[in-house]
């Protein structure tokens, strides 16, 4: 296992983050040999699932000989062997922390971590936060839920890993937060991308310019949005801070293994010493990681002790956007997230991701037509003949202009998502803002 390295410049682990691809591949093979032996001797779940297949895997290239692991399998494992499932590969006496998933896509999962797992997650997550711009000397207020969710304590530790000072604020008490930021000289905020909209509304009611809070950087995660250039630029304009997707990951895998840097709107993959990834085509076949490749992200742990997973289907669809050395100096490959296969819906034969609709709404927001807040309403089980979109008008727009705005937004949805839409315009501030995850899909 790699040891923690002292950071310098913009990188937390420059000795690792600048390695050539061939050296990374060699490190991963060494890690996988140890992990595979560990799984064979400790995992009851995989002993049954991979029965007769153990000898067929000698290297990472042989993973194609193994079946995928799905989230529903993991859920069933925990129901049959509560609370942690029979895919726990260590004694319960080695578990030092337990989290729980939000349960937004099904029953919550119990997530167990050993001391070694905790250190791995903090190391890779710290790399992500540092890449996004957090530095020693920053004071960052962390506004994600500490109540069992990995976004609380675990992400707090990734922030600390950068050397920054972390204020563990959590969710709620927004008026207190708005006082705390200038009083404590806070320079950075860690939260969901939708949370600033709630803060912005409160500040507007008090006649306060968000820029006056003096935030230098916003570190966002937990929701889609920051890959959208219009959304990102709007945040930066309103708040006067750099806005970065600093926190891409999954609770079952690693809470944070990818982030943007100051030179790119794409996500750097920071987790090569903890994860091996595959990108599946439409026939579920792995593709080489090269620019332009798109497909579902599949992850295999290389160094997980408590709940290791092999070929776990994340349901996230990504596109590789670069494999060359970035202007920041990192040699890691970069990607964008198109959406989740379980969020995708079908309109007259066209697969639509909510992120595509969001791009259309943010384009309209950039024209000063809408606020940027919206909801997609899905009635029944589909498929649907059009997208039913509810969008807030911008404050400066007179209601007499709303029919024209609706028509313009429908045209933008057609352009970005490839499907027709019916748009209902709503008054400004009529859609709820939250301090947690915001779902843009309303199923009725």
Q: What's the domain count of the chain? A: 2
Residues 376 and 317 in one domain: no
Residues 351 and 323 in one domain: no
What is the DSSP secondary structure assignment for residue 297, as one 8-state letter? E
Q: What is the pLDDT of residue 226?
A: 73
Q: How confident is the model at residue 2 (pLDDT cuts 50, 70, 90)?
A: very low
C-alpha torsion sign, points 207, 211, 217, 220: positive
DSSP 362-429: HHHHHTTSEEEEEEEEE-SSS-BSSEEEEEEEPTT--GGGHHHHHHHHHHHHHHHHSS-EEEEEE-TT
Residues 61 and 182 in one domain: yes
Last residue of a domain, one of 338, 354, 387: 338
Q: What is the pLDDT of residue 435?
A: 61
User: What's the CATH code of the domain at 359?
Assistant: 3.30.300.30
Locus of tokens 């797992």: 117
Residues 285 and 381 in one domain: no
Task: Please state, in angstroms and as integers, the Cα–Cα distance from residue 345 to each residue in 223, 250, 267, 324, 388, following that order.
Answer: 18, 22, 25, 34, 12
Residues 330 and 367 in one domain: no
CA distance 129 to 11: 10
Burial of 14 (0-12, 13-18, 19+ CB in 10 A): middle
Strands of 55-116 (E only): list them: 95-100, 110-114
Q: What is the pLDDT of residue 105?
A: 53
Q: What is the pLDDT of residue 4?
A: 38
Q: How confident is the model at residue 7 (pLDDT cuts 50, 70, 90)?
A: very low
CA distance 115 to 399: 57
By residue range, what is the domain housing residue 196?
1-338
Last residue of a domain, one of 320, 338, 356: 338
20-34, 54-68, 345-359, 413-427: lowest mean pLDDT where?
A: 345-359
43-52, 214-223, 340-349: lowest mean pLDDT where?
A: 340-349
Residues 368 and 325 in one domain: no
Average confidence (pLDDT) over 173-197: 94
Q: What is the pLDDT of residue 8?
A: 44
C-alpha torsion sign, points 200, 203, 207, 212: negative
Q: How confident is the model at residue 6 (pLDDT cuts 50, 70, 90)?
A: very low
C-alpha angle 282-288-292 in degrees, rounded to nearest 5: 75
Q: What is the mean pLDDT of the chain?
A: 92
Classify residue 295 as left (phi > 0), alpha (psi -120 to 50) or beta: left
Residues 330 and 372 in one domain: no
Residues 20 and 154 in one domain: yes
Burial string for 81-95 (b: 16+ CB within 10 Å, else e) reads eeebbbbbbbeeebb
Residues 143 and 228 in one domain: yes
Average confidence (pLDDT) over 400-408: 96
Contact 248, 337 (CB under 8 A): yes
Residues 124 and 245 in one domain: yes
Residues 253 and 282 in one domain: yes
Question: What tokens were used for 326?
Answer: 């970035």
Contact 274, 302 (CB under 8 A): yes
What is the percentage of the chain residues whose pLDDT exceeds 90?
Answer: 78
- Kindly give the residue spans of alpha helices, DSSP state H, lying in 43-172: 44-49, 71-80, 115-132, 153-161
**Residue 261: is its pLDDT beyond 90?**
yes
Q: How confident is the model at residue 407 (pLDDT cuts 50, 70, 90)?
A: very high
Q: What is the pLDDT of residue 16?
A: 97
Residues 44 and 168 in one domain: yes
Last residue of a domain, one of 315, 338, 361: 338
Task: Please state, in angstroms and as integers, the Cα–Cα distance from residue 441 to each residue in 128, 193, 364, 380, following that order.
Answer: 29, 16, 19, 13
């Amino acid at each position: 296992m790699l040891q923690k390295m002292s950071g310098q410049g913009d990188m937390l682990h420059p000795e690792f983050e600048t390695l050539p691809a061939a050296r990374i591949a060699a490190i991963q093979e060494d890690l996988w040999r140890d992990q595979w032996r560990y799984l064979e001797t400790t995992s009851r779940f995989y002993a049954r699932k991979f029965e007769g297949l153990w000898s067929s895997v000698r290297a990472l290239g042989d993973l194609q000989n193994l079946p995928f692991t799905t989230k529903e399998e993991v859920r069933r494992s925990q129901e049959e062997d509560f609370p942690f499932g029979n895919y726990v590969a260590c004694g319960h006496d080695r578990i030092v922390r337990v989290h729980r998933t939000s349960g937004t896509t099904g029953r919550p999962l119990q997530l167990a971590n050993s001391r070694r797992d905790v250190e791995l997650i903090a190391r890779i997550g710290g790399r992500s936060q540092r890449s996004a711009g957090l530095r020693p000397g920053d004071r960052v207020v962390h506004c994600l839920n500490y109540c069992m969710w990995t976004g609380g304590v675990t992400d707090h530790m990734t922030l600390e890993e950068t050397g920054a000072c972390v204020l563990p604020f959590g969710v709620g008490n927004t008026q207190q937060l708005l006082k705390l930021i200038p009083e404590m000289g806070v320079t950075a905020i860690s939260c969901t991308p939708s949370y600033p909209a709630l803060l912005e509304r409160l500040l507007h009611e008090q006649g306060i310019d968000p820029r006056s809070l003096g935030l230098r950087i916003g570190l966002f995660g937990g929701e889609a949005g920051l890959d959208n250039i219009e959304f990102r630029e709007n945040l930066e304009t309103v708040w006067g801070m750099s806005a970065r997707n600093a926190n891409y990951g999954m609770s079952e895998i690693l809470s944070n293994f990818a982030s943007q840097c100051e030179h790119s709107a794409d996500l750097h993959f920071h987790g090569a010493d903890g994860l091996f990834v595959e990108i599946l085509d439409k026939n579920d076949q792995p593709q080489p990681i090269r620019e332009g490749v798109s497909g579902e992200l599949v992850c295999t742990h290389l160094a997980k002790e408590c709940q290791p997973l092999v070929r776990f289907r994340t349901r996230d669809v990504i596109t590789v956007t670069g494999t060359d050395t970035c202007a920041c100096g990192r040699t890691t490959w970069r990607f964008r997230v198109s959406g989740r296969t379980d969020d995708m819906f079908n309109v007259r034969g066209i697969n639509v991701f909510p992120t595509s609709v969001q791009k259309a709404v943010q384009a309209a927001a950039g024209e000063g037509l809408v606020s940027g807040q919206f909801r997609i309403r899905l009635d029944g089980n589909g498929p649907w003949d059009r997208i039913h979109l509810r969008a807030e008008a911008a404050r400066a727009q007179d209601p007499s202009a709303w029919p024209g705005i609706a028509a313009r937004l429908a045209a933008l949805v057609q352009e970005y998502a490839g499907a027709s839409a019916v748009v209902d315009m709503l008054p400004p501030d009529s859609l709820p803002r939250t301090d947690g995850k915001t779902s843009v899909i309303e199923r009725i």
